[in-house]
């Protein structure tokens, strides 16, 4: 008998709140394993997502083949079911207490089998994998189910699907239903594989409370080229949304005898805060880590509010305070702090204990001296990349020292940079003191990760928040006391209604806001709510009860970190019982996957914990998914500035004859008169793209190529208040391109900052980074952002000017700016480039030929010359055009 050849038949990832689903089939069809159906069915009911992934495969080979089902799911998600149907027989996954499954796990390891089915991968995901031998012509159906409560992050819930079938699939469908009784306030989609050809495979419909997103491409739409099995589906598909809110006690939703209470009131003012930044500058932080820390810190300092106070503490073997006390975030103090941050260099050991105690003493001393604002919030933010090596080095003793020093007065947030630091150590220290821990991954976007974390805690709205319900109405309520509510987040409380509960469930939420106590009230009709959750298309069975169980388990697992030994055991027992009752794979349970007789009899799926990854290669922790790069390696498509290179040849000159119909001469070519014969020689230098290409309004669609000769400072390139668009940038006169360009839209409120390294899109204080030449297709209300494999980023919308940005490769290494649809500019447009869309007077200088003009713009005269340039409006390699060249 021949040994079965392994074939990846599917990998589907749905990340929730980054609800992420990966559909992958590596070299499946080559080995005879063909996926003929692949579906993702995700129902999001009141933030709780229930996802079913179904993959149907057939073995087309004449011999048995090994089919590998592989998927990724979010670390916060709980698998609830997995099964394989082979020849009509169902082989289920059975969830058991981890200790019970351990024997089977150990026996499999002893046999040399790969027993572990789940491993941590990337920043927010876990990988699930199971294999089975498939007989010739046999069919197998894999089905996996998992659930998660979507968490609100900087004002948005995010649903992300990664699509990578690697072969065309006859029936491929993603079907997402969202039901939010509060009402959906906005909905947007984004994709890194969508093109205009795929646009009609996607349908999005929405009413007040429901949204339906369906992606169902045909076989021909999936194909890279006709007749081929290679697919264009390779990347991310994202849905983002939020719900309607008011300044009230929140929304209580009720179904099947359980309730959930969401609290995130709108319109609350931000409380002033006192922030002590504790920055590790030990030797291990040298290089890119300290450079990115400086970059992030300088940006964070710019975001401090005028009523905030702050200080900087740096530490290695020794501890240094920037100032002897916290100082107001005035322009003068912030600028001085930025200069200090720019001079932080890495050297020495890691004295975490003394650094933390210094930060606490600083806050206590300033508070006793009445230097801190009454009603302000005090935060300590620690950034470190390693374990303690100087002073007190026992992690438990440091945790004890810090907790005793803080004594519940301040909140501590711990950021672990990379994988050389014990995350468990930082997590316990943060949770002991009312904060949270976050890992910062070493990558090109580390500075953005730091900035995003700060934005999460930058705007405290309430402190000491307590939820109260009538004692005769509810029982088994989840956590109902919270230290801090931040802008853009959401507090969630769930519980069970008593058998004889009132017809109306009321709630009181109390908290402190600046200098006063505040109380919010809300109520909800049980009968009305029960009726609202009856639509079977959007609701899955007992979702509210499962939401309550999920939230209870997650909170108990977190509470175990900082609980005493006796309390921890009680929490563990309850979480284990709920995990078994509701069939959740949690850190306390395992799933045993059974197989047909004659194969490995079982495999065991266990949920990894965060520090399982501590000493792995850091590269494997790079979340390539956010840039649309595959787990099995990335592919790049590139271009050279100017013209493409061909093997064995130098740069190719473009065609000599212009293609532009309105060109009046062969400009840029030397006409040499050698007697009776006239010869045309190619230009002495290759034709280049201008740094700025403006399409002029009017029927002629003429182009203006702008070169900027005298500018070092950031420039206001154009601003149109009627369009709600502003474009700024910094120009590099030596390379004739831009260092950076920033485009700001008023509606929707979006900022796009482009540099040669990447594009950063900011919305609601949330940053998303995209690498150049990774396909992007994002549709927001009133704005579409697209980027193709050539690296051309286009920003467009109904009745909007189209703004395109392009990142050049070496040697220029900078950005180009291109404008079209410029007839949408209003009469109020202004700026260095905007002036050319005001009243422009064209004159022909006396004695000049048809290729010379004089432009009179707002009292200034500019000489314009008709020249041959490259137009990148459709991306590289570009096409030759004739344009009017102007120097500013």
What is the arithmetic mean of pLDDT over 57-70?
88
Task: Find the angle CA(856)-CA(859)-CA(865) to the nearest 5 degrees.
Answer: 25
| Selection from 145-154, 833-842, 847-856 with the highest mean pLDDT | 145-154
Output the pLDDT for position 608.
74
- Dihedral sign, CA of 539, 542, 545, 546? negative
**Exposed (0-12), middle (13-18) or buried (19+): which is 111, by Cβ within 10 Å?**
exposed
Distances (CA, A) of 276 to 295, 391, 411, 635: 17, 21, 11, 43
- Residue corresponding to tokens 């060249």: 885
Percent of the chain residues past pLDDT 70, beyond the cut: 84
* CB 590, CB 608: distance < 8 Å: no
Percent of the chain residues past pLDDT 90, beyond the cut: 50
Q: CA–CA separation, 226 vs 223, rounded Å?
A: 6
What is the arithmetic mean of pLDDT over 445-451?
87
Question: Which residues is 739 bridged to in the sheet?
Answer: none
- Residue corresponding to tokens 């609202």: 532
DSSP 385: S
700-734 tens-digit pLDDT: 668 899 998 877 689 999 999 999 999 999 998 88
**Rounded to 5 degrees, what are φ and ψ at 540?**
-105, 160
Q: CA–CA separation, 116 vs 127, rounded Å?
A: 10
| Selection from 561-570, 668-677, 702-711 with the highest mean pLDDT | 561-570
What is the arithmetic mean of pLDDT over 185-204?
88
Please determine, for residue 14, whether its predicted confidence score (pLDDT) is greater than 70.
no
* CB 487, CB 513: distance < 8 Å: no
- Dihedral sign, CA of 554, 557, 561, 562? positive
Cα dihedral: 393, 396, 401, 407 (round 10): 150
Q: CA–CA separation, 357 vs 362, rounded Å?
A: 8
Strands 783-787 vs 776-780: parallel, antiparallel or unpaired: antiparallel
| Selection from 480-494, 581-595, 858-872 with the highest mean pLDDT | 480-494
Q: CA–CA separation, 327 vs 132, rounded Å?
A: 64
Q: CA–CA separation, 44 vs 215, rounded Å?
A: 16
Output the pLDDT for position 428.
93
Which residues are CB-contacts of 700 (< 8 A; sequence separation ≥ 6)?
A: 662
CB atoms under 10 Å from CB of 364, counted, come to: 16
Furthest CA-CA distance within the chain:
110
Go through 524-556 and write b for each residue having 16 or more CB atoms within 10 A of its CB, e for each that does not.
bebeebeebbeeeebbbeebbbbbbbbbbbbbb
Tokens found for residue 334: 């912030």
One-character DSSP codes across 328-362: E--HHHHHHHHHHHHT----S---HHHHHHHHHHH
Output the pLDDT for position 133.
86
Q: How many residues does the chain have?
A: 888
Output the pLDDT for position 560.
93
Terminus-to-terminus CA distance in the chain, angstroms?
A: 77
Output the pLDDT for position 11.
38
Q: CA–CA separation, 729 vs 815, rounded Å?
A: 10
CB atoms under 10 Å from CB of 92, counted, come to: 15
Tokens found for residue 482: 């919270």
Q: Is 257 left (phi over 0), alpha (psi -120 to 50) or beta?
A: left
Distances (CA, A) of 81 to 52, 55, 740, 784: 9, 14, 49, 38
246-296 tens-digit pLDDT: 878 899 999 889 999 999 999 899 999 999 999 999 999 999 899 999 999
358-413 tens-digit pLDDT: 999 999 999 999 999 988 999 999 999 988 999 999 999 999 999 999 999 999 99
- Mean pLDDT lowest among 171-175, 193-197, 679-683: 679-683
CB atoms under 10 Å from CB of 749, counted, come to: 12
Output the pLDDT for position 109.
60
Please determine, for residue 613, whether its predicted confidence score (pLDDT) is greater than 60.
no
Element (H, E) at 547: helix 543-562
Please determine, for residue 26, whether its predicted confidence score (pLDDT) is greater than 80.
no
Q: How confident is the model at residue 161 (pLDDT cuts 50, 70, 90)?
A: confident
Selection from 192, 212, 75, 27 nearest residue 612 by Cα: 75
DSSP 616: S
754-809 tens-digit pLDDT: 999 899 999 888 888 888 988 889 988 889 999 988 889 999 998 899 999 999 88
């Amino acid at each position: 008998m021949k040994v079965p050849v392994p074939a990846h038949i599917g990998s589907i990832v749905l990340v929730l709140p980054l609800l992420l689903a990966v559909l992958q089939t590596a070299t499946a069809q080559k080995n005879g394993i063909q996926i003929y159906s692949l579906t993702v069915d995700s129902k999001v009911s009141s933030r709780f997502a229930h996802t079913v992934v179904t993959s149907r495969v057939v073995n087309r080979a004449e011999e048995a083949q090994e089919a590998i089902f592989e998927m990724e799911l979010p670390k916060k998600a709980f698998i609830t079911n997995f099964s394989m149907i082979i020849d009509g027989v169902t082989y289920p996954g059975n969830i058991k207490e981890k200790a019970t499954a351990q024997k089977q796990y150990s026996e499999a390891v002893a046999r040399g089998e790969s027993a572990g089915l789940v491993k941590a991968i990337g920043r927010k995901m876990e990988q699930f994998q199971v294999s089975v031998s498939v007989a010739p012509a046999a069919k197998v159906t894999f089905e996996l189910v998992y659930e998660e409560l979507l968490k609100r992050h900087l004002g948005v819930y995010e649903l992300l699907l990664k699509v990578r079938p690697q072969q065309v699939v006859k029936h491929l469908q993603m079907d997402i239903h969202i039901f939010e009784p509060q009402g959906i306030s906005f909905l947007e989609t984004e994709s890194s594989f969508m093109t205009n050809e795929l646009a009609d495979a996607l349908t999005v419909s929405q009413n007040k409370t429901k949204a339906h997103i369906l992606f169902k491409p045909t076989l021909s739409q999936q194909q890279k080229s006709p007749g081929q099995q290679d697919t264009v589906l390779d990347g991310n598909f994202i849905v983002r949304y939020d719900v309607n809110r008011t300044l009230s006690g929140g929304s209580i939703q009720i179904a099947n005898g359980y309730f959930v209470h969401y609290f995130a009131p709108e319109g609350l003012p931000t409380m002033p805060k006192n922030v002590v930044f504790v920055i590790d500058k030990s030797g291990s932080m040298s290089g890119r880590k300290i450079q990115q820390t400086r970059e992030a810190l300088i940006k964070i300092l710019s975001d401090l509010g005028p009523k905030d106070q702050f200080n900087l503490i740096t530490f290695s073997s020794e501890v240094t305070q920037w100032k002897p006390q916290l100082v107001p975030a005035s322009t003068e103090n912030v600028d001085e702090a930025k200069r200090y941050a720019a001079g932080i260099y890495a050297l020495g050991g890691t004295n975490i204990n003394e650094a933390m105690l210094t930060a606490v003493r600083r806050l206590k001393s300033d508070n006793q001296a009445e230097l801190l604002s009454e009603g302000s919030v005090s935060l300590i933010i620690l950034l470190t990349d390693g374990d303690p090596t100087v002073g007190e080095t026992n992690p438990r003793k440091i945790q004890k020292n810090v907790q005793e020093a803080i004594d519940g007065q301040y909140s501590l947030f711990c950021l672990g940079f990379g994988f050389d630091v014990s995350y468990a150590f930082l997590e316990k220290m943060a949770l002991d003191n009312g904060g949270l821990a976050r890992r910062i991954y070493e990558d090109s976007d580390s500075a953005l990760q730091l900035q995003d974390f700060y934005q999460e805690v930058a705007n405290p709205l309430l402190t000491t928040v307590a939820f109260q319900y009538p004692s005769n109405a509810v029982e088994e309520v989840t956590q109902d006391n919270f230290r801090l509510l931040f802008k853009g987040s959401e507090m969630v409380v769930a519980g069970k209604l008593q058998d004889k509960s009132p017809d109306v469930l009321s709630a009181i939420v109390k908290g402190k806001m600046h200098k006063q106590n505040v109380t919010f009230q809300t109520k909800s009709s049980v009968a009305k709510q029960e009726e609202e959750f009856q639509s079977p298309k959007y609701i899955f069975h007992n979702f509210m009860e499962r939401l309550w169980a999920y939230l209870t388990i997650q909170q108990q697992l977190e509470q175990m970190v900082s609980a005493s030994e006796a309390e921890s055991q009680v929490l563990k027992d309850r979480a284990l019982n709920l995990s078994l009752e509701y069939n959740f794979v949690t850190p306390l349970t395992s799933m045993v996957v059974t197989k047909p007789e004659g194969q490995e009899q079982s495999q065991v799926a266990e949920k990894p914990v965060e520090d399982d990854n501590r000493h792995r290669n850091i590269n494997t922790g790079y979340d390539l998914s956010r840039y649309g790069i595959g787990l099995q390696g990335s592919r790049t498509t590139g271009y050279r500035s100017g013209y493409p290179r061909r093997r064995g040849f130098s740069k190719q000159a473009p065609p000599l004859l212009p293609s532009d119909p309105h060109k009046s001469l062969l400009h840029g070519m030397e006409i040499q008169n050698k007697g009776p014969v006239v010869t045309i020689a190619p230009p002495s230098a290759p034709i280049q793209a201008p740094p700025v290409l403006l399409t002029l309004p009017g029927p002629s669609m003429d182009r203006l190529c702008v070169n900027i000769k005298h500018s070092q400072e950031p420039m206001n390139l154009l601003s149109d208040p009627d369009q709600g668009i502003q474009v700024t940038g910094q120009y590099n006169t030596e390379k004739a391109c831009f260092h950076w360009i920033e485009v700001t839209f008023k509606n929707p409120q979006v900022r796009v900052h482009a540099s040669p390294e990447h594009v950063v899109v900011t919305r609601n204080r949330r940053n998303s980074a995209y690498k150049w030449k990774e396909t992007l297709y994002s549709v927001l209300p009133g704005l579409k952002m697209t980027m193709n494999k050539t690296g051309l980023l286009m920003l467009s919308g109904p009745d909007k000017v189209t703004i395109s940005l392009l990142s050049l490769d070496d040697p220029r290494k900078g950005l180009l700016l291109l404008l079209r649809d410029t007839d949408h500019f209003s009469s109020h447009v202004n700026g260095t480039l905007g002036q050319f869309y005001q009243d422009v007077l064209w004159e022909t200088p006396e004695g000049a030929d048809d290729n010379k003009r004089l432009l009179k713009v707002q009292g200034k005269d500019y000489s314009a010359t008709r020249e041959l340039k490259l137009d990148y409006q459709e991306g590289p390699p570009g096409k030759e055009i004739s344009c009017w060249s102007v120097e500013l």
